[in-house]
Amino acid sequence: MEIDLQANLRKYYTNIRLSGGFIIVYIFWQILKMLMLMFFGYENVYDFFEVSKEDYESLKYILIISTVLIYFVFFSFHFYVGIGAFRFRSGRKIKKRFIVATVILLVMSVWSAFQNFYTDNIDDTVIASFILDATLCFILSDLLITLFKIKKSQKLVEG
Amino acid sequence: MQEDFHYYATYCAAFLAGFSHDESLDICYSAQFVDLCSKTLLLKLKAPLIAATTQLQLEMMDSRTDILALLDITRIWASFHFLPRDLYAKKKWATKRYLNKYRLICGPNGELVKETVELAKGKSLQAIGLAMHVLADTWAHMYFAGTPSLCINNITGDFYENYEDGERKIRFKHNPTSPDDVEKGAYTNSLFQSNENSIMNLGHGRAGHFPDYSFARYRYVPAWGDYSLIYKDNPSDYLKAFAQMVYALKYLNGRFFSFDIERYDYEAIEPYREKIVKILKKRQLNACEEWKAFGEELSGESIPDFDIERYQYEYIKADRRYKNKTFLARFFTAAIAQKAMVTNEIFKSGNILAGFTKEIKYQEKEDDDDKIREWLNSKIRQ
């Protein structure tokens, strides 16, 4: 039975590493999507921030800094979870903050996935974006389930 | 396995089984020749290409991976180097497509090994040598399949070698020109290719040449194993292979009435066990010298080094009437029969990866030989 447990643990560790790899790749996709939106999706910077020209002139720095901060936090979460999962090795303890970060990321991703449809024009790009976001939600759910399975298996091995 | 076991160790086994020095030489030559009889060589000899028992690296590089090419590759490698252990193996939740490949996993003491040895009974020394090569390889190439398959033959990065001082992780590199470094634990393997049917995923390519070293003791996680760990002890396995070869050769020599799997002639090798184990355990890339010395000590005769061209001239120059009686022709006949038997068994099991081949049962006709000679002599007298 211990052999089966060890085999299962190996499977879970591989699963987590693969999930981490996907999350890291997803970051690059998000950066690419953001750049494409900025340079090709909007005619001018006011449309990007969804403000009028006058409001943009007065709130320029606040808008830019807050946008950068939001993206930074967004990507940091992804990076923290992705790298943490990718580097996960046998024998490492599962930290609570990692699980909390994964849960928060999952909630953000679910919200982000459905937010794609809050638009007048649902075209192929929206559907493609939704598919990727939905995949991320699945990967994050799988990551959480695997983490709990590892915890359980580790207890059985130690017991 | 490599030349040290296929040539010299087979000679030793044949001599211990009661074959004479010359017979043992023929047997061991044939055993080693299985690793060299490629289509390139057969083209040079103008011999039937269907008798190919191996593929050179250059041939494999040029090989396609469509259905027919995969069929060709599987027929050669599964028939001579990765004899399937259980063609009717079952695995839970496995699709038929996966099972076809899973059932080609090589291992010792399968039904096909028995059929291989029995096929050589009453046949030429070349057939015996060929059977010994196939038998020996079932031990070295255990847990790998003779068909290009990522989902069967791939390994993870958890590849550890056990040796006297402890355990260390094997570092695989992709430089076929540089030799394996036993001291540093750096060995060459094939490049990772995510394509399921890439030639890089054939046999034990992903583990490099490591399974063929007699000293190797290692653990790894194969792709087919559902993350389970496999422990491989080559010194122990190679000793069993040697003992089983002696037993099989005694059966082929007529000393035993039947050949059963899971039987080994440890009694015959007992006086030399310590020496054999010492050779097997010595950490070196090639044990030819030690095996050769052992063989010469056994027989008191000199064992010539393997020369691939030894019998080529005889075959090329032989008259069409006598061609079948040449050394190489007998080998080709045995190879064709072995390939037919194995691929037919694979097909009968419902597996189409090796295609379909008509089984050839042949008997050598000695009386025709005398008639032809008599006719020739009569012509000369006239």
pLDDT digits (tens, 9 = 90+) for B183-227: 888 888 888 989 999 999 999 999 999 999 999 999 999 999 999
Tell me, yes or no, whether B177 lies in a domain.
no
pLDDT per residue as tens digits for the range B107-132: 999 999 999 999 999 999 999 999 99
Closest to B120 measured CA to CA, from B305, B262, B245: B245
| Cβ atoms < 10 Å from Cβ of B290 | 19
Q: What percent of chain A shows pLDDT beyond 70?
A: 95
Mean pLDDT of B224-239: 94
Using the beta-carbon criterion (under 8 Å), do B156 and A14 form an inter-chain contact?
yes
Quote the number of domains for chain B. Answer: 1
Mean pLDDT of B233-248: 96
Q: What percent of chain B shows pLDDT beyond 70?
A: 93
Mean pLDDT of A30-49: 77
Candidates B93, B154, B227, partner chain A, best to mutate (most A CBs within 10 A): B227
Tell me the nearest-neighbour CA distance from A5 into chain B, angstroms. 10
Mean pLDDT of A38-60: 75
Residue of B nearest to A10 (CA): B227
Using the beta-carbon criterion (under 8 Å), do B227 and A8 form an inter-chain contact?
yes
- A86 contacts in chain B (CB < 8 Å): none
Q: Is B189 in contact with B62 (CB distance < 8 Å)?
A: no
Using the beta-carbon criterion (under 8 Å), do A11 and B221 form an inter-chain contact?
no
pLDDT per residue as tens digits for the range A98-153: 889 999 989 988 888 887 777 667 777 788 888 888 999 999 999 999 999 988 88
- Per-residue confidence (pLDDT) for residue B221, from 0 to 100: 93
- Per-residue confidence (pLDDT) for residue A124, from 0 to 100: 78
Quote the number of domains for chain A. Answer: 1
- For residues B134 and A151, which has the higher predicted lDDT (pLDDT)? B134
- Per-residue confidence (pLDDT) for residue B202, from 0 to 100: 93
Mean pLDDT of A18-33: 90
- Per-residue confidence (pLDDT) for residue B364, from 0 to 100: 55
Report chain B's mean pLDDT, rounded to a whole number: 91
Q: Is pLDDT at B165 greater than 80 in this prediction?
A: no
Tell me, yes or no, whether B201 lies in a domain.
no
Closest to A141 measured CA to CA, from A96, A110, A97: A110
A14 — contact with chain B (CB < 8 Å)? yes
Q: What percent of chain B shows pLDDT beyond 90?
A: 76
Q: Is pLDDT at B368 greater than 60 in this prediction?
A: no
Tell me, yes or no, whether B88 lies in a domain.
yes
User: What is the rounded CA–CA span in Å between residue B73 and residue B147?
Assistant: 7
| pTM of this structure | 0.86
Closest to B151 measured CA to CA, from B219, B106, B231, B206: B206
Q: State which residues form the domain around B97.
A: 3-144+235-381
Using the beta-carbon criterion (under 8 Å), do A7 and B156 form an inter-chain contact?
no
Q: Are strands B217-220 and B160-163 parallel, antiparallel or unpaired?
A: antiparallel
Q: Is B114 in contact with B12 (CB distance < 8 Å)?
A: no
Q: State which residues form the domain around A125.
A: 2-158
Candidates A10, A11, A87, A90, partner chain B, best to mutate (most B CBs within 10 A): A10
A11 — contact with chain B (CB < 8 Å)? yes
User: What is the rounded CA–CA span in Å between residue B105 and residue B340?
Assistant: 19
A8 — contact with chain B (CB < 8 Å)? yes
A17 — contact with chain B (CB < 8 Å)? no
- B156 contacts in chain A (CB < 8 Å): 14
User: What is the rounded CA–CA span in Å between residue B197 and residue B218?
Assistant: 26
pLDDT per residue as tens digits for the range B68-108: 999 999 999 999 999 999 999 999 999 999 999 999 999 99
pLDDT band for position B166 (cuts 50, 70, 90): confident
Largest pairwise CA distance in chain B: 78
For B84, the 3-state DSSP assignment is: strand
How many C-alpha atoms does A56 have within 13 Å on its Cβ side?
12
Tell me, yes or no, whether B229 lies in a domain.
no
- Per-residue confidence (pLDDT) for residue B15, from 0 to 100: 96
A1 — contact with chain B (CB < 8 Å)? no
Buried b (16+ CB within 10 A) or exposed e, A14-38: ebbebbbebbbebbeebeeeeeeee
Mean pLDDT of B134-162: 94
- For residues A135 and A40, which has the higher predicted lDDT (pLDDT)? A135
- Per-residue confidence (pLDDT) for residue A122, from 0 to 100: 73
A62 — contact with chain B (CB < 8 Å)? no
Report chain A's mean pLDDT, rounded to a whole number: 84
* Interface pTM, i.e. ipTM: 0.72
Q: Is pLDDT at B369 greater than 70 in this prediction?
A: no
Range from B6-20, B40-54, B151-165, B171-185 carrying the lowest mean pLDDT: B171-185
Residue of A nearest to B157 (CA): A14
Using the beta-carbon criterion (under 8 Å), do B227 and A3 form an inter-chain contact?
no
